[in-house]
Amino acid sequence: MWRRATIQSSFSYLINSSSSSSIFKQPINIFSHTFTSTPIPFHPQEMDGIPPKHISRFITFVLGPGSGKGTQCAKIVETFGFKHLSAGDLLRREIVSDSKYGSMILTTIKEGRIVPSEVTVKLILREIQSSDNLKFLIDGFPRSEENRIAFEQIIGAEPNIVLFFDCPEEEMVKRVLSRNQGRIDDNIDTIKKRLKVFEALNRPVIDHYATKGKVHKINAVGTVDQIFEQVRPVFAAFEHDADWKAV
Ligand SMILES: Nc1ncnc2c1ncn2[C@@H]1O[C@H](COP(=O)(O)OP(=O)(O)O)[C@@H](O)[C@H]1O
Ligand SMILES: O=c1ccn([C@@H]2O[C@H](COP(=O)(O)OP(=O)(O)O)[C@@H](O)[C@H]2O)c(=O)[nH]1
Ligand SMILES: [Mg+2]
């Protein structure tokens, strides 16, 4: 009862609210976790004229390079109705759409480096803004502390949870090399660079959220279904709550 009331007040109250962003920072207490609701930014200059919507979202970051994130995200979408936003896919879309950032993104991905936050955050926020769904899987982002801080500053809150797919290097290399999607970064040279970048820049993001109790570490070795059985309870905890379903 208490749980239901808490979620309801935290999500429903915010829908169509025109209040200032400070109200979005109230914690939502669900089960034993304390989550912050995730507001939508009000930065018109960042959004190319897309009108802001003051609606609270449930945000999940999904991390772990070449670990099967995208594969598991598809199952989470199917089972729990999230909107899946792959940061890598959004960046690759920019390359083929002749965007002014296209060649910079192509070079950065080829070298396994990280695209500047202002570009990636803008692409992600545009997708969030234009979606009717309020539950998001943000796959492959944030890739660095700079990414994380940029996102949190614009959004004004943290993600609700972080899924980290923990995959041994050897397995990750095997999977990526047999992915067969024609990706410019799925070659051994770039993979080695991506792994270095992961340890140097992405690992601190996971450590940061781990200290806040937000990280759900998933053993990424096994069949797709076996791995999903570890993922399922993370979201199933929310699914039985009618108010969360409505989010
Ligand atoms: N559990 C698994 N076991 C073996 N291969 C997998 C598994 N999950 C995904 N794959 C394959 O590994 C490759 C990378 O998966 P993908 O979902 O693209 O990962 P990511 O988004 O983390 O890079 C793909 O070819 C995918 O089909
Ligand atoms: O927030 C992001 C996400 C991806 N990338 C770039 O895109 C590449 C591919 O990312 P993706 O998440 O698609 O790779 P995956 O981990 O799924 O294999 C990365 O190595 C980076 O060069 C980035 O710069 N910022
Ligand atoms: Mg992927």
Domains of the chain as residue ranges with CATH: 59-246 (3.40.50.300)
* Ligand 1 atom 13: residue of nearest CA: 175
Ligand 1 atom closest to the CA of 180, numbered from 1: 25
Per-residue pLDDT, 56: 77
Instruction: Locate the ligand 2 atom nearest the alpha carbon of residue 115 and give its number.
Output: 24
Taking the CA of residue 66 as reference, the ligand 2 atom at the shortest distance is: 18
- Which residue from 71, 170, 194, 223 has its CB within 8 A of the most atoms of ligand 1, so it is best to mutate? 71
Give residue 8 CA to ligand 1 midpoint distance, Å: 36
Over 60: is that where the pLDDT of 57 sits? yes
Ligand 1 atom closest to Cα of 221? 1
Average pLDDT on 48-54 reads: 47
User: Residue 62 — pLDDT band, cuts 50, 70, 90?
Assistant: very high
Nearest bound ligand to CA 150? Answer: 2
Q: How far is the CA of 68 from the centre of ligand 1 (A)?
A: 4
Quick one: average pLDDT of 5-19? 27
Mean pLDDT of the chain: 81
Tens digits of residue pLDDT in 127-139 = 999 999 999 999 9
The residues pairing with 84 across neighbouring beta strands, listed in sequence order, are: 137
| Predicted confidence (pLDDT) at residue 202 exceeds the cutoff of 60 | yes
Give residue 88 CA to ligand 2 midpoint distance, Å: 4
Query: For atom 9 of ligand 1, which residue has the closest CA?
Result: 68
What is the predicted pLDDT for the residue at 242? 58
pLDDT at 205 over 50: yes
Q: Look at residue 32 in the predicted model and tell me its pLDDT.
A: 27
Q: Looking at residue 55, what is its pLDDT?
A: 61
Q: How far apart are CA 151 and CA 212, in angstroms?
A: 17
Tell me the HSE value of 31 on the side-chain side, using a 13 A CA sphere. 13
Q: Are 95 and 124 in contact (CB under 8 A)?
A: no
Q: Give residue-wise pLDDT tens across range 21-45.
A: 322 233 332 222 333 344 444 443 4
- Beta 215-219 vs 135-139: how paired, if at all? unpaired
* Closest ligand 2 atom to 88 CA: 13
Query: To test ligand 2's pocket by mutation, which of 71, 109, 181 has the most ligand atoms within 8 angstroms of CB?
Result: 109
**CB neighbour list of residue 70: distance below 8 Å, 6 or more residues apart:** 86, 139
In this structure, which residue's CA is closest to atom 1 in ligand 2?
Answer: 141
Q: How far is the CA of 93 from the centre of ligand 3 (A)?
A: 13
Average pLDDT over residues 54-69: 90
What is the distance in A from the centroid of ligand 1 to the CA of 38?
29
- Cβ-based neighbours of 69, under 8 Å, separated by 6 or more: 62, 63, 139, 140, 163, 165
Tell whether the model's pLDDT for residue 189 goes beyond 80.
yes
pLDDT digits (tens, 9 = 90+) for 145-154: 999 999 999 8
- 136 CA → ligand 1 middle, Å: 20
Average pLDDT over residues 37-64: 62
Please give the Cα distance from 152 to 32 (Å, whole number).
23
Question: 153 C-alpha to center of ligand 2: Å?
Answer: 21
